[in-house]
Amino acid sequence: MENQYPIQLTSDEFSKLVFGLEEFLASDYAGSCLDDADDRLRVATGLASWMISEKVDLVSPEKILPKAKYRLGFNVTDEATGEHIIRLILDRTREMADGDFLQLQNFFWATIGRAIRDNPDVIRTLKLGGVHVEIDPAGGQQAAV
């Protein structure tokens, strides 16, 4: 049977996601009215958080928000001044297996994290700009709300 779901989910994985979403909506959002703008915003915000949260028991988070497969790159620019600061690019070589490229991405982010962690001036600058820097976060989870 051809996979009828986007992002290559099995029928069982898709069913688990539907069940998880159903439970999510039945929890704090059961009384929400989607005709009301405030309720819609509250449900949308909660749903976005739910979608990017760890779903180990449902399906691999990489299937929902996949890691780069061939190239990862972005520009870092000061939006206020238009100054180009740096462009960071990770390219997968032909010899790299999937695991090697994922390991390269992990090395990339770990290097950036350690550079921030080990430089009190960078931490201070980030904090002055309103960025919360946790050196030893409780729970160790990533979050986006």
Structure confidence by residue, pLDDT tens digits, 26-70: 777 778 888 888 888 888 888 777 776 655 555 554 454 445 667
Give yes or no for a contact between 45 and 145, defined as CB atoms under 8 angstroms apart: yes
DSSP string, 34-51: TTSHHHHHHHHHHHHHHH
Band of residue 142 on the pLDDT scale cut at 50, 70, 90 = low
Instruction: Tell me which residue of 77, 74, 52, 72 sits closest to 63, measured CA to CA.
Output: 52
Q: How far apart are CA 23 and CA 70, in angstroms?
A: 35
pLDDT of residue 145: 47
Hey, what are 24's tokens?
């999510």
| Residues contacting residue 139 through CB under 8 Å, at least 6 positions apart | none
Other CB atoms within a 10 A radius of the CB of residue 101 amount to 20
**Which of 19-23, 25-29, 68-72, 112-116 comes out lowest in average pLDDT?**
68-72
**Bridge-partner residues for 88, per DSSP?**
74
pLDDT of residue 121: 94
Whether the pTM exceeds 0.75: the reply is no
